[in-house]
Chain A
Amino acid sequence: MVVPDAHKAPGTTVARPGGPAILGGFAAGELALYAMHPADALLAAVLATAAAFAVGLADDLRAMGGWFKPVALVAAAVPILAIGAYDTDLAFPLFGEVHIPVLYVGVVVAMMVVMGNTVNSIDVLNGVASGVMAISGAALAAALVVMGRHDAAAACAPIVGMSIALWRHHRSPSRVFPGDSGALALGCMYGAVAIHGGAEVVAAIIMLPAITNSFLFLSSMRRIIEHREAARPTRVLPDLRLEATGDARAPVTLVRLLLMGGPMTEPAIARAILRMSAFSACLGVATAAASQAVMA
């Protein structure tokens, strides 16, 4: 299947979805790890990612309403809860842990729904979702090493390797788009590994640019809708640079804020988002390191 690339010359089409390759790459890596060191959490991560992929594939094949993905992504939490691949202590950096045996079920569900949808919401430009995931996966691995969770850090390796491989084909000019199946799978595999490592808050800090984008979108629209249902926050100029529109009905997004200073090319905006992702990655790893030092 091919779809138009909205930020390129008219008639430019790109293959979509890359979700099957993303799921296959991640599953192959995690199952190889499982063969060497059997851990239920690795199987749970693969099954959770497969569930998110299935939700996204349904949306790829037939455009669903705005509520479909947030609600259906609860299915991605089911394998983790059913296998019991989680700890019931929620760690807050610098302050310690709280024991929440019942409430942690909600944390698992929230983690999968939020991570899946935030990565999906930032998949708007060539190379951004794949680049953000490569940076975030590497930062989560580093944070988990700092926290002494080497087993969970190893589980990040397939995320990083697969994201870099995807980025080579996804960067501008894209030859493949992840699609909803790929973006939701990327977010949920990250969330599942963060739960495995007990690094939920640190993982959220690392992913702050994507979370900021989702927050800006929701706070400006004040309801859950699909991007395609909202007015466009940007327009493409004849020289193919992007410019923010003044449309008050359009959502506020990270890209729209980055364009406040004037028009930019798509690769320049992507680089700005990846620099921001690297910044929050450093913030997350530094927070994990500071937390370890305080708790020692």
Chain B
Amino acid sequence: MRHARVYAMVVAMWALMIAGGGIAVNVLGPIHAQDESGEAAVSAAKAAAAVGLVVAWVWALSRIKSAIFSPRRA
């Protein structure tokens, strides 16, 4: 297919979104504080982890983009 590499990029983004969801639900979701006062700290930690996930997602996507569209493969 003429534009297979662009489709590969779309599929890579889809896979990263699904995987990120899995981490959010299975790793971050179950974390809870022992008492109500600690809930704010846990929420802040979850928010920081979510931002970290997004940063990692963008980094991984940049690497995938470089791999898919590198001149050697063109």
Contacts and interface: CB of A to CB of B under 8 A. Distances in A.
A12 interface: no
Contact of A276 (B3, B14, B24): B3
B10 A92 contact: no
A272 B13 CA distance: 19
9 contacts: A92-B21, A92-B24, A95-B21, A102-B43, A106-B47, A201-B17, A205-B14, A215-B61, A287-B18
Given A92-B25, A95-B22, A98-B29, A276 B10 contact: yes
A270 to B, nearest CB: 13
Contact of B25 (A98, A272, A283, A287): A98
Nearest to B30: A98
A219 B69 CA distance: 13
Contacts of A15: none
Contact of A93 (B21, B50, B61): B21
B21 A103 contact: no
A102 B58 CA distance: 24
A103 B46 contact: yes
B17 to A, nearest CB: 6
Q: Chain A contact residues: over half helix, strand or loop, or mixed? A: helix
B21 A280 contact: no
Contacts, number: 80
B74 A260 contact: yes
Q: Chain B contact residues: over half helix, strand or loop, or mixed? A: helix
Nearest to A211: B13
Categorize the interface residue count of chain B.
20 to 34
B18 to A, nearest CB: 6
Nearest to B22: A95
B22 A92 contact: yes
A50 interface: no
A98 B74 contact: no
Contacts of B3: 257-258, 261, 272, 276
A119 to B, nearest CB: 16
Interface string A128-156: 00000000000000000000000000000
Contacts of A209: 10
A96 B17 CA distance: 13
A103 B28 CA distance: 13
A94 B14 contact: no
Contact of B47 (A94, A103, A257, A272): A103
Contacts of A98: 24-25, 28-29
Interface in B45-74: 46-47, 50, 58, 61-62, 65, 69, 74
B7 A276 contact: yes
A92 B26 CA distance: 11
A212 B50 CA distance: 21
Contacts of B14: 205, 208, 280, 283, 287
A67 interface: no
A97 B62 contact: no
Contacts of A219: 58, 61-62, 65
Given A208-B13, A212-B9, A258-B6, A93 B29 contact: no
Contacts of B11: 283
A254 interface: yes
Contacts of A201: 17, 21
A260 B24 CA distance: 37
